[in-house]
């Protein structure tokens, strides 16, 4: 089973991104926003890079809580090509602020990440290379999918998401991928029985 980061580790990595890059590298804020958004949305790189615009973000209030809602193109579900992903602003304040810090300087029609999927993989891979440990099978997980695994595991363990909740959140056409993407440990299972 891959070792997913705790949420506190995700926030630590995002905070440290400006120190991981060369001093004169001008894209630190953009790269931190990419990392944060990939985690928060649980999206595939292809659902964010080049397609996502500032106007795809909306802020709504629901049951006295503030949410950032991201409208994403669902890459692998033709029946439901668009999905709206909610992010609780209070619970995810640090990462949401990293995203907002970047997108505030853009116009509504600007593409957030105007580069290829391959470049995005390089960016996220370079960020994670200093932090990721090998899994028990001694293989590194794809950097983007590592963030996806982390987020979906956190949604299950911290917010009690079910397989069907994950289907809605990710845009999957069925719940089969839930067995691959959520990594429950003994403590996670035991906590549900208390």
Q: Per-residue pLDDT tens for 72-86?
A: 998 888 788 899 999
For the beta carbon of residue 172, count every other beta carbon within 10 angstroms: 20
User: What pLDDT is stored for residue 138 in this prediction?
Assistant: 39
User: What pLDDT is stored for residue 23 in this prediction?
Assistant: 63
Q: How far apart are CA 166 and CA 187, in angstroms?
A: 21
* Gyration radius (Cα) of the chain, Å: 16
Q: Per-residue pLDDT tens for 105-131?
A: 899 999 999 999 999 998 998 888 877
Q: How far apart are CA 10 and CA 187, in angstroms?
A: 20
Q: Is 84 helix (H, G, I), strand (E, B) or coil?
A: strand
Arithmetic mean of pLDDT, 30-51: 93
Q: Classify domain 7-192 at the CATH class level.
A: mainly alpha
Arithmetic mean of pLDDT, 65-94: 92
User: Pick the residue with more confidence: 104 or 50?
Assistant: 104
């Amino acid at each position: 089973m891959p070792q997913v980061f705790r949420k506190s580790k995700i926030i630590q990595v995002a905070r440290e991104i400006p120190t991981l890059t060369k001093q004169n590298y001008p894209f630190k804020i953009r790269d931190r926003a990419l990392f944060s958004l990939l985690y928060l949305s649980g999206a595939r790189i292809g659902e964010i890079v080049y397609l996502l615009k500032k106007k795809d973000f909306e802020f709504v209030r629901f049951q006295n809580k503030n949410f950032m809602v991201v409208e994403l193109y669902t890459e692998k579900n033709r029946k439901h090509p668009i999905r709206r992903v909610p992010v609780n602003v209070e619970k995810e304040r640090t990462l949401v602020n990293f995203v907002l810090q970047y997108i505030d300087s853009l116009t509504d029609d600007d593409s957030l990440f105007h580069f290829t999927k391959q470049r995005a993989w390089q960016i996220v891979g370079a960020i994670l290379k200093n932090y990721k440990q090998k899994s028990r099978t001694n293989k590194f997980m794809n950097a983007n999918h590592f963030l996806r695994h982390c987020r979906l595991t956190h949604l299950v363990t911290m917010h009690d998401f079910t397989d069907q909740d994950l289907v809605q959140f990710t845009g999957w056409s069925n719940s089969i991928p839930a067995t691959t993407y959520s990594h429950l440990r003994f403590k996670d299972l035991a906590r549900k029985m208390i």
